[in-house]
Each structure stands twice: as structure tokens, then as C-alpha cells.
Amino acid sequence: MDDIVKQAMAKWPHVPHCYGWLGLDARGNWYMRDDRVQAAGSFAQSKGSLLKHEKLIDFIQRNYGCDDSAHSEAKGQWFFQNGPQRVYVELEATPLIWRVSADFTVHAHTGEPARLQRCVLDEHGRLYLEAASGFGLVHTQDMGYAADAVEQGLWVPEAVVTAELPMRFGYVRSPQAQHLLLN
């Protein structure tokens, strides 16, 4: 997390959280979702405006994390810490999108390297990886490399059902929906 973000959190500790305004798609792209877009439906129905500003994207990705506090209603929700405000992220698929290289090294869409713990395959043929840093979907453009890793026996996929992924791997696809349900 950036030092300037930590300083803002210390200076303004009670800023309300933000829900519904930021989304991450299944290809690792960030979307801004204003009131009009949110009124049009969930992230799956209405994504919003694709973020293209590289420095903004880098800032979001450096300050992106998971609420893993044991006694929080936000457990498993991923967020962008925007100064003192926590902006919870709507997920199209998973909190991380994995990029696979020809040498089978894996990085998250944020650029962070991963140490793989598990490989799973859903009923639709989508491949997911679990790492110490979190759970994510393999980017569609990297499925050739991922298939090579599976064929070579480097990764051994376990079968999973898509609907069970959030509960099994501890993430929330729509923090906004959960927040509205609980409040």
C-alpha cells in the first residue's frame, strides 16, 4: 500500500466505505460505475466506463487487497484503498486474473508474481489458480500456456462447480449486493 494512502487513513480514519463504483472484469480490466450505470443493473449487466489512464490503474492495483478480518461483514470482499476511503470492487469473475508466461510463471493482473497452490477447472472449461495471494481465473489469452502446463503434468486441475467458487475460495463477487442485504 502506498505511504500516502496510509497517511490519509491515519488522518481520516472514519471515512465511509464506497460500494458499486468500481468493477473488475474477467480479463483484468477496471471499470468506473457512476450512478447511472449502477441504476442500469449489476456489474454483469452494466459494466460502466473502461479505465484507460495508466497511472490511475497502477495506483488502483498497488492499493488493491482483500478484507480478511475474521470478524468483519466484509470478509472476502476485495477493495481499492483510495486514500482514507475503501472502495469495494464488483467482480465479473474472480478477484485476480492470472497471466501465464511461456515458462509457466504466473502473475496477477496487478503484476504481482504468484506461487501456485492449486489448479481447478469448472464445468465450462475455465481454468482457475489459487495462490497465497488469492484466487483467480486464467486470462483467456494465456490458456494455450496453461493447457501446456496441464498437459506436461505441472498443473493438475481438480473439478469444481462455478457456483461454489466464491464460498470455497473465500471471495465475494458483489460487495454492493452483500452490503445492501445486510443493511
- Tens digits of residue pLDDT in 46-76: 999 999 999 999 999 999 999 887 667 778 9
Confidence of residue 169 (pLDDT cuts 50, 70, 90): very high
Judged against a pLDDT cut of 80, whether residue 6 lies above it is answered with: no
Other beta carbons less than 10 A from residue 176's beta carbon: 21
Q: What percent of the chain has pLDDT over 90?
A: 79
Q: Is the pLDDT of residue 141 over 90?
A: yes
Work out the end-to-end distance of the chain between its first and last CA atoms, rounded to an integer number of angstroms: 29
Q: Looking at residue 11, what is its pLDDT? A: 73
User: What is the average pLDDT across 74-95?
Assistant: 93
What are the residue ranges of CATH 3.10.540.10 in the chain? 3-93+171-182
99 and 106 Cβ atoms separated by less than 8 Å = yes
Residues 161-173, mean pLDDT to the nearest whole number: 96
| Cα 176 versus chain centre, distance | 14
Question: pTM for the whole thing?
Answer: 0.90
pLDDT category of residue 4 using cuts at 50, 70 and 90: confident
Question: Which strand ranges, in their side-by-side order, compose the sheet holding 96-100?
Answer: 106-108, 96-100, 134-138, 127-131, 116-121, 158-159
- So what's the pLDDT on residue 9? 65
Cell of 56: 490511475
pLDDT given at position 70: 62
Please give the mean pLDDT across all residues of the chain.
92
Q: Exposure string (b/e) for 123-155, b if CB count within 10 Å is 16 or more?
A: eeebbbbbbebbbbbbbeebeebbeebbeeeeb
Amino acid at residue number 70: A
Binning pLDDT at 50, 70 and 90, where does residue 168 land? very high
SS3 label, residue 97: strand
pLDDT over 80 at 183, yes or no: no
Q: What is the pLDDT of residue 73?
A: 74
Contacts by residues 69-77 (CB-CB < 8 Å, ≥ 24 positions apart): 73/178, 73/182, 74/17, 74/175, 75/170, 76/166, 76/170, 76/171, 76/172, 77/171, 77/172, 77/175, 77/178
Which CATH number is correct for 3-93+171-182, 3.10.540.10, 3.90.1140.10, 2.60.120.200, 3.40.50.300? 3.10.540.10
Instruction: Give the model's pLDDT for residue 7.
Output: 78
As a residue count, the chain comes to 183
